[in-house]
Amino acid sequence: MSVQRRASAVIAAGLIVGAISGAALGVVWAALAPRVPVVIQEGTAYPDSFQPEEYFASDVAFGVLALVAGVAIAIGLAYMRREHLFSVLVAALLAAGVGTAAMWFVGTRLGSVDIEGLEATTEPVVTDAPLEVSLGAMFLMWPLASAIVITVLALSDWISEWRSSARSAP
């Protein structure tokens, strides 16, 4: 038995779930992402040594969390309104936009460091660099995962409909 839900209910659910899960994943990202040590001296801040793997690992952690959220939320929204996948796609993309922004905002705020305040010290200080996303493509992981899930669902619906019409054709 299928429950008919309005498209606006699915979109509202997507926005709410996207914001809440994005904020929660921002906390997880801030806890999981490795940090780059920086040396802060009078007026300057520079990495302790060349460590691109920490920057990359931080971006990968952000991207993987976003991929998992995109798949899970798109499946949940499709479960709410499978009969009209266009509204599910709109809701999933809105959830992805809000969720990615919330994840980035919360994660960067929890991983922030006052570099300017520490630059006033006279002796060198080694601290963790602020958390940031250096690969802009990571912001597209959540919407991309959601769009792929909805596309696969639409194709599976189309194929099953095509098979049932081919069986009933004379």
Residue 19 has which token pair?
């914001």
> From the CB of residue 97, how many other CB atoms can be counted at a distance below 10 Å?
17
Q: Classify residue 168: in a domain, yes or no.
A: no
Report whether 73 contacts 99 (CB < 8 A): yes
Q: What is the domain extent for residue 52?
A: 7-163
Quote the DSSP letter at residue 35.
Answer: -
Among residues 65, 68, 29, the alpha carbon closest in space to that of 149 is found at 68
Q: Let me know if residue 1 belongs to a domain.
A: no
* Predicted pLDDT of residue 1: 37
In a domain, 169, yes or no: no
| pLDDT confidence of residue 117 | 64
Does residue 170 lie in a domain region?
no
pLDDT for 120: 61
| Averaged pLDDT in 10-residue chunks for the chain of 170 residues | 68 94 96 82 68 84 97 93 87 96 94 67 72 91 96 92 80
Domain assignment of residue 76, yes or no: yes
**Residue 2 belongs to a domain:** no
Residue 107 lies in a domain: yes
* Residue 115 located in a structural domain: yes
The count of domains in the chain is: 1
**What pLDDT shows up at residue 125?**
73
- Helices 7-32 and 85-110 cross at an angle (nearest 10°) of 30
The C-alpha atoms of residue 76 and residue 71 are separated, in whole angstroms, by 9
